Amino acid sequence: MWEMMKEIRELVMLFLMALCSKLTATSGKTMTIRKWQVPAEDSYCLSWRLGVETNNIRAWPIVPNQCLRYVESYMILGQYERDIDLIIDQVMDYVNDDVVLSNDGFDAWILDVDDTCISNLFYYQGKRFGGDPYDPKGFKEWALKGVCPAIPGVLRLYNKLIKKGFRVFLVTGRSEATFGQTTLNNLHSQGFLAYERLILRSDEYKGMNALEYKSEIRKNLVEEGYMIWGNIGDQWSDIQGDYVGIRTFKLPNPMYFVP
């Protein structure tokens, strides 16, 4: 494959050289071929986001200052939505082509809530798209408003899962005591209905990090008899650990990291 690509590149260069020679011969002027270059700052930020999404860059506290404009553009100018849709299309293919449900009432699918089902984009817009340190008080005030919009691609998938017969579990690290009713109302208002269970963090799981907590929730579901066909989240801690399911899918999120 690489040898073929090398040959193609050589043929292209020969063609361009011949074209330049012809233009020079006919016009007496030299043709300059300009190379397209990504600005150095954007080039670094592209690499930084790749590192984040592949989990090679971990435990980062805030978006690097030089990448604030890049992350803003990524989140609001359409590429984020296109990336979500591409991933959701892959999930749809898996659901349609590879999953054969047992229809015994124990075919399960797990979805994270924040920035998977519903979006906190408007909140993080006020936080310079992740350029400011995490603010527990500020996020609490935002989440208690219950106005997070649905992420359209995920809602489309959700309706497909429900229609196909999955038992869908919405699992979030939000505190049950603080955010329980607000989160339920927010999800319902955005079209997330008919799920099997909304699971929030109870006092029993206080002190666990996200990976430990979600692993324990999945363990409990498996012990109840559920087969986890799929598991989707925007953080690596959503889809790593124990009992992750047959397939996991990571949605992009360059605004914050949850261990």
pLDDT tens digits, the chain, 259 residues: what are they? Answer: 444 444 545 554 554 445 444 444 444 444 444 555 556 668 999 999 999 999 999 999 999 999 999 999 999 999 999 999 999 999 999 999 999 999 899 999 999 999 999 999 999 999 999 999 999 999 999 999 999 999 999 999 999 999 999 999 999 999 999 999 999 999 999 999 999 999 999 999 999 999 999 999 999 999 999 999 999 999 999 999 999 999 999 999 999 999 9
**Residue 33, in any domain of the structure:** no
Partnered with residue 169 across adjacent β-strands are: 110, 197
Partnered with residue 247 across adjacent β-strands are: 230
> Token pair for residue 230?
């799929």
**Residue 79, in any domain of the structure:** yes
pTM of the model: 0.84
**Residue 32, in any domain of the structure:** no
CATH of the domain at 44: 3.40.50.1000
**Residue 124, in any domain of the structure:** yes
**Residue 125, in any domain of the structure:** yes
- In angstroms, the CA 28 to CA 102 distance is 74
pLDDT, tens digit, 9 for 90 and up, residues 132-182: 999 999 999 999 999 999 999 999 999 999 999 999 999 999 999 999 999
Distances (CA, A) of 144 to 107, 133, 175, 199: 32, 20, 11, 17
Apex CA 238: angle with CA 229 and CA 148, to 5°?
105
Host domain of residue 135: 40-250
**Residue 27, in any domain of the structure:** no
Q: Which residue has the tokens 């015994």?
A: 104
Q: Give the model's pLDDT for residue 42.
A: 85
Apex CA 104: angle with CA 98 and CA 109, to 5°?
50
Number of folded domains in the chain?
Answer: 1
Q: Give the model's pLDDT for residue 167.
A: 98
**Residue 45, in any domain of the structure:** yes
**Residue 194, in any domain of the structure:** yes
Nearest to 168 by CA among 131, 113, 124, 123: 113
